Structure 1
Amino acid sequence: MDETPPARLPLPSPLTWIVGSLIVMTLFILDYRASDHGMIGLSEMWGRDFANVWTGGKLALTGQLDLLYDVDRYRGFEHALYGTAGVHNYSYPPIALFLDIPFALMPYGMALASWLVGTGLLFALAARSWLPDGRAHWLLLLTPAATMNIWAGHYGFLIGALFLAGWHWLPHRPRWAGLCFGLMVLKPHVAVLVPIILLLRGDWRTIATAALTVGLLVLASVLAFGSELWTQYLTVTAGVQARMIDPGQEFYGLMSTSLASALLRQHVPAALAYGLQGMAMAGVAIGVTVAAVRGTPPATLALLAATGTFVLLPYAFNYDLTVVMLAALVAYGRPDASPLEKGIALIAFVTPQWGMLASAIGIPLTPIALISLFAVQLRGQIRSGRGVPADAGAVRSA
């Protein structure tokens, strides 16, 4: 089941890349026009959600972690820190503070630049095995999801890098793969399919290493910051994030990838919205199970799992679709892809941004595009029984 990657993977035209990022270009222009000394109006800082990384580090350095998961007091601290009136909340587990603290030691602008450049570099390097054509992997920093992640200052590059590195190392360095997957506990919901697939494949060394990594990180955070933060994270913060599944008419709802969120935004009854979300989840579970038990190579499973994750999750956003962009490019470039499949891949490629506009006018484009892309990937895998990248057909790590 081994297949050598093509010497040149066909990529969409430059116009597709430009059109795909027109929305975020507009957002950057609007932010620039409203900015003053690093602030965007009275509500945000440049880098937007990166402010949470910097704020979390500041709270740790000043010994005020009792504010971290208290939404009102946390916002009050941010308002005093930045002079803004934003509505952030800290939604990450306490282990993220180990990452936050080094950035909080820098001035905000330097920290933001270091965050985007550093995580972007890691992501591009982790993607090299999937885009073997020269330096094409650097183009992944310009996909619609990537530019949205840059605008939002989010974790899309970092989590994407850990995800891709884990799957790349799985066949030959299972413990390194487990370390990468364990570190994804920074945003644990994005790794929801990883342990399921590893169990189906019997990758026991990787599973053990990932579990040990998570356990050690949790223990270290308890010793460093206390156990109460974990209690607050698992109760207060989990509830805050769960309520965001129903976005109402808030702007962040336009960025959601969730089928349930898209339907609830259009006032579809909750029972129907969650029922359809459940059907999508079941479809993904069946699809990845079939792929895993058929012995699909890790590199192919990685892209299938990336798309499936955002079909399955009722809570997720477009700036995390960095690996899904790679999945869309590989699906588009398959030599046996039909014109319809290429079209679906292109729509999925631009949907991180154009899905926002579609949602604003009542069309749930993002979840439909992701479901369609997952179906194309699964059909391609079943049709060929072979993976695209070079490590296809590698042995399991058991």
Structure 2
Amino acid sequence: MSVSTLSVPTLSVRDRAILGAGAAVSLLAWLAMRPWDFQGWMIGAPLGRDYVNFWLAPRLVLAGQGAMLTDLPAYAETVMGLFGLRRDPMLLFSYPPHTLFLLAPFSALPFIPAVLVWTAVNLACLALATRLVIRRTPGGAMLWAVCLSPPAVAMMMYGHFGGILALAATLVLFEAERRPVVAGIGLAVLSVKPQFACALGVMLLGAGYWRCLLAGAAVTFVLVALSAATFGVAVWQGFLTVTLPIQSAFVTAFNAKMIETSVTAYFAARFSGVPGAAAWAIQGAVSLFALGAGIAALRRGIGRKGAPAVVILAALVMQPYVSHYDLAIAAPALAPVLFGREADASPATVAAWLLVPIARILIVFDLPVLGVLVPSAMVAQAIRLLSDKPAPARAADARMLAEC
């Protein structure tokens, strides 16, 4: 895979317009959540609502109370008691137990310092991922554009780890050929979202990068084994027999309230009244196109502008359920196609970028538009990438960098 040679020294008037609009939408989304009211949607802090799960789960497991993760009434009662809530916030820790290795160090802190440090770490990872994508360029403005972007704001509001996953995914893409072990470690980190890691892995396999998959499988196996030894087999049994079925039922039985921030074709179809079988057929068609587009983008070279965005967006929209905050994973890869002198983002890509933080507000008004815009952005960027023939100068630059 060749090294990216993108050049984005400054932001144009168009870029500033996108940034300004994104800032306005992000501020609206944050204020709409009433961040000052810890008895409302936010819990314990003015950001990081779902971070309560990431902070509490390792504390419970390390205290020998891991069974509470699947005892939803007891879990809700614990959350309400700790944060002085008057109502059940309907939280669920839905990640495989080896995720606890990532979460436990932060949970040792009191909640507010923990959520602030967690947020800072994820923003730092977003910045590092952006530097990898725009390698060999100054990129200062681009770093700010990503770290303060609407996808990043959605990630911060919900307290998720899109920054860490963005860095892992970027390492996988750029190191799969040259340093497969490093890429494999990145895949093991991504296994905290197994469906995303599997989608990316299938694309890598289709493009011929199988060595990093072996490394990724080996590291993941070690993490799973260590987590069973450290936290107990019962925690894994609860995840497989209780948590996974609950999560799956939210999608298959279509509990729209529980997955209201989804940005997939399946969600948009079901929410709009399309029968289940037809919605699955639509999602299947999108997933097949995404798989093919991702493989094609990898084969054309991940160093080409737009290729990382196509691959990561494809891995996301292949899923029947992906939340809006997960688009932070794609933010570093999307930035070069959105900003700079050679920006070529489609209107759907710009719209998806801007509207991400208000996914929940859009659903209040029965507008599942992100479930249309995000897959459309992937399709549009894939068509642009695959129809573009590299200029001789670009090919020469790529050869020169490959020889360095």
Structure 1 CA distance, aligned partners of 2:303 and 2:8?
A: 20
Deviation at 1:307, TM superposition (A): 0.9
Deviation at 1:287, TM superposition (A): 2.0
**For residue 203 of structure 1, what is the aligned residue in structure 2?**
209
Cα displacement string for residues 66-100 of structure 1 (whole angstroms, at most 9, x for unaligned residues):
11222222222222222223110110111112222
Distance 1:230 1:101, change over 3 A: same
**For residue 166 of structure 2, what is the aligned residue in structure 1?**
160
Deviation at 1:164, TM superposition (A): 1.2
**For residue 353 of structure 2, what is the aligned residue in structure 1?**
349
Structure 2 CA distance, aligned partners of 1:304 and 1:264?
A: 25
Segment drifting more, 237-246 vs 214-223: 237-246
User: What SS does the corresponding residue of 1:121 show, helix, strand or coil?
Assistant: helix
**Paired residues of 2:126 and 2:164 also in contact (CA < 8 A):** yes
**For residue 382 of structure 2, what is the aligned residue in structure 1?**
378
**Paired residues of 1:119 and 1:158 also in contact (CA < 8 A):** yes
Match of 1:13 among 15, 33, 37: 15
**For residue 149 of structure 2, what is the aligned residue in structure 1?**
143
1:331 correspondence with 2:337? yes
Structure 1 CA distance, aligned partners of 2:51 and 2:395?
A: 33
Segment drifting more, 103-112 vs 237-246: 237-246
**For residue 361 of structure 1, what is the aligned residue in structure 2?**
365
Structure 2 CA distance, aligned partners of 1:15 and 1:360?
A: 27
Segment drifting more, 369-378 vs 206-215: 369-378
User: What SS does the corresponding residue of 1:91 show, helix, strand or coil?
Assistant: coil
Structure 1 CA distance, aligned partners of 2:303 and 2:224?
A: 28
The one-letter amino acid of 2:302's match is P
Q: Normalising to structure 1: TM-score of the pair?
A: 0.87
Distance 1:92 1:129, change over 3 A: same
Deviation at 1:323, TM superposition (A): 3.5
Alignment of 1:169-188 (within 5 A): 169-188=175-194
Distance 1:200 1:386, change over 3 A: farther
1:88 correspondence with 2:94? no
Distance 1:144 1:229, change over 3 A: same
Cα displacement string for residues 318-349 of structure 1 (whole angstroms, at most 9, x for unaligned residues):
111014334443333586777xx542331122
Structure 1 CA distance, aligned partners of 2:354 and 2:376?
A: 14
Pairwise CA RMSD of aligned residues?
A: 3.0
Structure 2 CA distance, aligned partners of 1:89 and 1:80?
A: 16
**For residue 41 of structure 1, what is the aligned residue in structure 2?**
40
Q: Normalising to structure 2: TM-score of the pair?
A: 0.85
The one-letter amino acid of 1:26's match is L
Deviation at 1:221, TM superposition (A): 0.6
Distance 1:123 1:302, change over 3 A: same
Structure 2 CA distance, aligned partners of 1:43 and 1:86?
A: 9
Size of the aligned set, in residue pairs, is 388
**For residue 120 of structure 1, what is the aligned residue in structure 2?**
123
Distance 1:125 1:327, change over 3 A: closer
The one-letter amino acid of 2:357's match is Q
**Paired residues of 1:310 and 1:370 also in contact (CA < 8 A):** no
**Paired residues of 1:32 and 1:40 also in contact (CA < 8 A):** no
Cα displacement string for residues 228-265 of structure 1 (whole angstroms, at most 9, x for unaligned residues):
22222122111111222265552x54411122122222
Alignment of 1:208-227 (within 5 A): 208-227=214-233
Gaps of 5+ in 2: none
Segment drifting more, 348-357 vs 310-319: 348-357
Gaps of 5+ in 1: none
1:310 correspondence with 2:316? yes
Segment drifting more, 263-272 vs 153-162: 263-272
Structure 1 CA distance, aligned partners of 2:220 and 2:210?
A: 15
Alignment of 1:286-301 (within 5 A): 286-292=292-298, 294-297=299-302, 301=307
Cα displacement string for residues 106-144 of structure 1 (whole angstroms, at most 9, x for unaligned residues):
111110111000121122112113233431223211111
User: What SS does the corresponding residue of 1:75 show, helix, strand or coil?
Assistant: helix
**For residue 272 of structure 1, what is the aligned residue in structure 2?**
278
Segment drifting more, 173-182 vs 126-135: 126-135
User: What SS does the corresponding residue of 2:91 show, helix, strand or coil?
Assistant: coil
The one-letter amino acid of 2:350's match is L
Structure 2 CA distance, aligned partners of 1:148 and 1:42?
A: 14
Deviation at 1:373, TM superposition (A): 1.6
Deviation at 1:42, TM superposition (A): 8.1
**For residue 104 of structure 2, what is the aligned residue in structure 1?**
101
Structure 1 CA distance, aligned partners of 2:321 and 2:396?
A: 33
Structure 2 CA distance, aligned partners of 1:390 and 1:325?
A: 28
**For residue 134 of structure 1, what is the aligned residue in structure 2?**
139
**For residue 69 of structure 2, what is the aligned residue in structure 1?**
68
